[in-house]
Structure 1
Amino acid sequence: MIKLMSRPEVAEYIGVQRGTLNRYKLPPADAQIGRVQGWLKETIDEWQQRRPGRGNHPDQANWNLPPELR
């Protein structure tokens, strides 16, 4: 079975409040069912490592693009 995380689950997984997650630009969803988007744990792990913030290198500017477009 493929396990996807919803926005509330992503917030819990990365340790932020649900409202705080709204300020983050999440990577493209791995799937969408109706209006609900879902992310694989691996997608969120990679995003966490690459997203802009203190200590990230400027050459990671395309962090939010799908891998095939980076």
Structure 2
Amino acid sequence: MTIRYLTIAGIANRLGISPTTAKKYADEGRLPEPDAVTGDGPKSVRGWLPETIDVWNAARPGHGGRPKKVPQD
């Protein structure tokens, strides 16, 4: 069975953000560590399992990780 990983473009598509934003998140260390890396140096390609990105996205502030405000009476 082949394991499919998300690239930066795949993450952008999955989250509904631009590839530029996804790359910025990765370069700034805001994404989780990649599940796989192929190649060496600047030409290496990082890959994330869809589940890794889904868990990260659900936990990040403003996307399900921040408790909702309860109206005060």
Count matched residues. Answer: 57
TM-score, normalised on structure 2?
Answer: 0.68
Query: Which runs of 5 or more structure 1 residues have no equivalent in the other structure?
Result: 58-70
Q: Deviation string for 1:38-69 (max 9, x for gaps)?
A: 00000000000111337615xxxxxxxxxxxx
Match of 1:37 in 2: 46
Q: Does 1:17 align with 2:18?
A: yes
For 1:7, the aligned partner's letter is I
The residue that corresponds to 1:67 in the other structure is: none
User: 4+ residue stretches of structure 1 with deviation over 3 A?
Assistant: none
C-alpha distance in structure 2 between counterparts of 1:54 and 1:42, whole Å = 15
Note the 1:1-70 alignment, pairs <5 A: 1-24=2-25, 25-34=30-39, 35-53=44-62, 56-57=66-67
The alignment's C-alpha RMSD in Å is 1.7
Provide the C-alpha distance between the structure 2 equivalents of 1:18 and 1:48, rounded to a whole number of angstroms. 16
| Structure with larger Rg | 2
